[in-house]
Amino acid sequence: MKKSALKARKDAAARLLLRKEAADTQAIVKGIIASDTAALSRAITLVESTRPEDEIRAGEIVEACLKEAASGIRVGITGVPGAGKSTFIEALGLFLISRGHRVAILAVDPSSSLSKGSILGDKTRMQELSRTPNAFIRPSPAGDSLGGVTRKTRESITLCEAAGFDVILVETVGVGQSEVAVHGMVDFFLLLKIAGAGDELQGIKRGIMEMADAVVINKADGPNLEAAKKAEGIFKSALHLYPPKDNGWTPPVMRCSSIEGSGIAEVWEMIDRYAASCHEDGSFETKRNTQNLHWLKQRIESALTSNFYRDPEIQKAYEAYKTKVIRKEITPGRAANALLELYRPDQTS
């Protein structure tokens, strides 16, 4: 065979593959919109992939799904290990499904890239829920940065909503800044606590209390009930420290028992009330728009800065300037200017 014929054949094969992939992309989108969880899973796998060609396809799929999203609510749930997040989510999820909702459970856990999925990884932790057709559980994506993990979860939310899941529960263990990330992608942010030996308020990460739209004291059952009631009082006066949210909401403190199932309906009614009032005054949509525009800015700014720090010239010079700053040989401002002068971003890309 001649060289030119070989090339033509290769080109044809490449075109065929592209067409096939395009058809496949459309099929996945159609599948998602038809609530096919197999298609949803495949799309999320593409979102989580680090292969550039997958990233492009994932972007197309997510974009096609943007306008198809079910109108529902995204609830972030945080709490230290041991607060009973899995049992709470199982109880809340089963309750919601009994009420006719379709529930997707996602997670942001930047530590899971090390531990290979420390939360939600083991579906046996939500045994009953994972067997329910109207529930979709996806473990935390692996990733080398919180930014990467966050992007994947954000995009997965859109896919789940397009597949008709109207309640999205996003779990986080609160490693690094992961609560801030989850807070920035949900409509309602819930802090789950358990009553301890009087030290309820110790060990709360800085900033968490201010982000919470509600505090729920879990495991308020049996011999724990009294301690839970006490903790409820302590949290109530603690939350009194903060001004109401921008939309006028005052975060309530509630008790529940995921094991007994008590208080779960009340927690949901409270979230429902929140959503209704936010829809009424327009703050629901405003918050989502703000979150999306914030995400846009964040993506841009993190790309600009990470390109800078990855630049070979900058990498060579940066440590030397840091040392000079520490040794008081140069002001931070002049060191910054010198480094910015050195920076010549690649124009050919």
Phi, psi dihedral angles at 74 (to 5 degrees)? -110, 120
- For residue 31, the 8-state DSSP code is H
Contacts of its own copies in 69-88 (CB under 8 A): 69
Cβ–Cβ < 8 Å for 215, 193: yes
The reply to whether 52 sits near its own copies by the rule CB under 8 A is no
Q: Which stretch binds its own copies (CB under 8 A): 5-13, 82-90, 159-167, 294-302?
A: 294-302
Strand pairing partners for 53? none
**The token pair that represents 206 in the structure block:** 């800085």
- Contacts with its own copies by CB under 8 A: the residue count is 54
Phi, psi dihedral angles at 75 (to 5 degrees)? -120, 120
Give how far Cα 48 sits from Cα of 43, 109, 143, 256, Å. Answer: 9, 14, 8, 34
210/281 with CB nearer its own copies:
210
Site string for its own copies, 162-201 (x = CB under 8 A): ---------------------------------------x
Q: Which stretch binds its own copies (CB under 8 A): 7-15, 96-104, 222-230, 237-245?
A: 237-245
Site string for its own copies, 297-336 (x = CB under 8 A): --xxx-xxx--x------------xx--xx-xxxxxxxxx
- Burial string for 171-204 (b: 16+ CB within 10 Å, else e) reads bbbbbebbbebbbbbbbbbbbbbbbeeeebeeeb
User: CB neighbours of 149 closer than 8 A, spacing ≥ 6?
Assistant: 108, 109, 110, 112, 113, 140, 141, 142, 143, 178, 181
Q: Which stretch binds its own copies (CB under 8 A): 5-13, 110-118, 160-168, 241-249?
A: 241-249
Q: Which stretch binds its own copies (CB under 8 A): 58-66, 88-96, 110-118, 125-133?
A: 58-66
Binding site for its own copies (CB under 8 A): 59, 62-63, 66-67, 69, 151, 155, 158, 201-204, 206-207, 209-210, 237-238, 240-243, 289, 292-293, 295-296, 299-301, 303-305, 308, 321-322, 325-326, 328-337, 339-340, 344-345, 347
